[in-house]
Amino acid sequence: MTTSLLSPKYQVVIPKEIRKSMNLKPGQRLQFTEKDGKIEIRPILTPEQLIGFLKGEKPLEFEREPDREF
């Protein structure tokens, strides 16, 4: 388990091994959520970072509704 210290300005440094494994970059936006007394931090991905995100996944299958005649 890795720890970090909360500064007097309420700032926290994300440990290097976590920044590296999640490919976090300076200036990247993060989302904070409080749930059951715990803090979740998630990176907000840019459209460029989402390109190829589902690469290799099975394509979504859907069935289109038939056209209606009025």
So what's the pLDDT on residue 46? 77
Both structure tokens of 54: 């589902």
Burial class (CB in 10 A: 0-12, 13-18, 19+), 43: middle
Provide the Cα torsion 34, 40, 44, 50; round to 10°. -130
Please indicate whether residue 42 or residue 1 has the higher confidence score (pLDDT): 42
| pLDDT at 67 (0 to 100) | 82
Whole-angstrom distance, CA of residue 26 vs CA of residue 44: 13
**The residue type at 6:** L
Residue 26: the pLDDT is: 93
Residues 17-66 have pLDDT tens digits of 999 998 899 999 999 999 999 999 999 887 777 777 667 767 667 788 88
Give pLDDT, residue 57: 66
